[in-house]
Amino acid sequence: MSLVTPDFGLLFWMVIIFGVVFFVLAKFGFPVITGMVRKRSDHIEESLKKAQEAQEALENLTRESRRMTEEARAEQGRILKEATRTRDQIIAEARQKAQEEADKIVEHAKIQIAAERESAMRDVCRQVSLISVKVAEKIVKKELDSSEEQLALIDRLVEECSRSVLKN
């Protein structure tokens, strides 16, 4: 039975050895172990704090990124509207300028046509006058004395013809 129940001497030395080991551990081992545990705990707390700060910074960056994206989209929309307005304005100005140029060309053509028509009418009247003078000359059987008289008569007849044509 000595194996199951220890003797008093054995028990005494076991308690003394346990006390010495406990004292040595309490003096030298436990402070190191608790220091390491405290250090590890502080490190974990600091890491958690940094992770929380990083999470907050990430959320702030995400919000800032969304805000900047929204601003960029708004700016893009504004620029597109401005470009569309400018394009429409340029097209309108080009159309107006083209219309003005076309009107000028048409007006110039009308003036030129009127001048050509008047010139043609004068030529026709002059030719009619020449024919009339020749016919009158043959009828009267008399030639006018000088070419100056013929030209004066032709000019007078052209003027009369022009006035009568312009009135019609």
pLDDT of residue 152: 78
Q: How many CB atoms lie within 10 A of CB 10?
A: 11
Helix residue ranges per DSSP H, the chain: 8-24, 30-140, 147-167
Q: Using an 8 Å Cβ cutoff, are 162 and 121 in contact?
A: yes
| First-to-last C-alpha distance (Å) of the chain | 161
Question: Residue 137: its pLDDT value, please?
Answer: 67
Task: Please give the Cα distance from 59 to 48 (Å, whole number).
Answer: 16
For the cut 80, the answer to whether the pLDDT of residue 8 exceeds it is yes
Tokens of 72: 């960029």
pLDDT score of 17: 96
Burial code (b: 16+ CB inside 10 Å, e: under 16) for 81-117 equals eeeeeeeeeeeeeeeeeeeeeeeeeeeeeeeeeeeee
Tens digits of per-residue pLDDT, 82-131?
999 999 999 999 999 999 999 999 999 999 998 998 888 888 878 877 77
Sign of CA dihedral 95, 97, 98, 104: positive
Give the model confidence (pLDDT) of 46-80 as tens digits.
Answer: 999 999 999 999 999 999 999 999 999 999 999 99
Q: Is the pTM of this model over 0.85?
A: no
Question: How far, rounded to the nearest angstrom, does the alpha carbon of residue 138 sit from its chain's CA centroid?
Answer: 83
* Contact indicator for 112, 132 with CB cutoff of 8 Å: no
Give 73's contacts (C-beta < 8 A, 6+ positions apart).
Answer: none
Q: Is 133 exposed, middle or buried (0-12, 13-18, 19+ CB in 10 A)?
A: middle
Calculate mean pLDDT across residues 137-148: 60
What is the residue extent of each domain of the chain? Answer: 8-167
Tell me the pLDDT band of 143, cut-offs 50, 70 and 90.
low
